[in-house]
């Protein structure tokens, strides 16, 4: 009887270890291929997202569709983002029209405000597309910051996306270092899960 009990206990331990290993493998697989958690590192997306807030990022949907204006996206910015450098010389009263080559190792989170073919300018922190001011109830506008008045239009290259933080006076974004391509995107932020009082969809 003692030998049977020992075998039973040993079998239960193996089963427990197997369950834990499978669960861990599934969790890692989900994070690697489907959904990734991300912690908000700065105030650039205030008031939509606060510092320390945590979001879930869908890593799949952009394989089947292009990003849309308004999507909140986690991405690898161009290397120019590390030093706030535009990829080309441009007029001081225009947003940066081209990014530097290469990609930073840092993850950023911003909102898509324009797509390829759009004409873009910034006045008092507000985005104007093709001459029309956009409705941006999510944004904290600012007329005083150095990047908030860029009235000379640029055209976003085909296949590229212009990214800006909702907190227009406190965001280093495409206005400084230019648009990004779809392959730089990790995924679309679709929900917040921490802190508990901010749980919800985006």
- What residues are annotated to the active site? 44, 110
Beta carbons within 10 angstroms of residue 43's beta carbon: 17
Check if the beta carbon of residue 40 is closer than 8 Å to that of residue 55. yes
Q: Quickly list DSSP for 65-95.
A: S---TT-EEEE--BGGGGTT--SS---TTS-
Report the sign of the C-alpha dihedral through residues 197, 189, 107, 146, in that order.
negative
Is residue 181 classed exposed, middle or buried when 0-12, 13-18 and 19+ CB atoms within 10 A define those classes? middle
CA distance 73 to 108: 8
Query: What is the b/e burial string over 102-118, where b = at least 16 CB atoms within 10 angstroms of the residue's CB?
Result: ebbeeebbbbbbbbbeb
Q: What is the CA radius of gyration of the chain?
A: 22
The two structure tokens encoding residue 10: 């040993």
């Amino acid at each position: 009887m003692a030998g049977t009990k020992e075998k039973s206990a040993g079998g239960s331990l193996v089963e427990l270890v197997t369950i834990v290993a499978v669960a861990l493998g599934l969790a890692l697989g989900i994070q690697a291929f489907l959904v990734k958690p991300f912690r908000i590192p700065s105030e650039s997306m205030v008031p939509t997202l606060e510092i320390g807030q945590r979001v879930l990022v869908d890593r799949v949907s952009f394989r089947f569709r292009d990003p849309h204006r308004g999507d909140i996206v986690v991405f690898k910015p161009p290397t120019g983002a590390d030093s706030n450098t535009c990829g080309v010389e441009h007029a001081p009263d225009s947003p940066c029209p081209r990014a530097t080559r290469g990609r930073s190792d840092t993850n950023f989170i911003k909102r898509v405000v324009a797509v390829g073919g759009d004409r873009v300018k910034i006045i008092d922190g507000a985005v104007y597309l093709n001459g029309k001011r956009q409705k941006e109830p999510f944004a904290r506008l600012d007329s005083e910051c150095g990047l908030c008045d860029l009235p000379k239009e640029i055209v976003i290259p085909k296949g590229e996306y212009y990214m800006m933080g909702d907190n227009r006076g406190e965001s280093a974004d495409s206005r400084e270092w230019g648009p990004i391509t779809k392959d730089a995107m990790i995924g679309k932020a679709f929900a917040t899960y921490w802190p508990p009082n901010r749980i919800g969809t985006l």
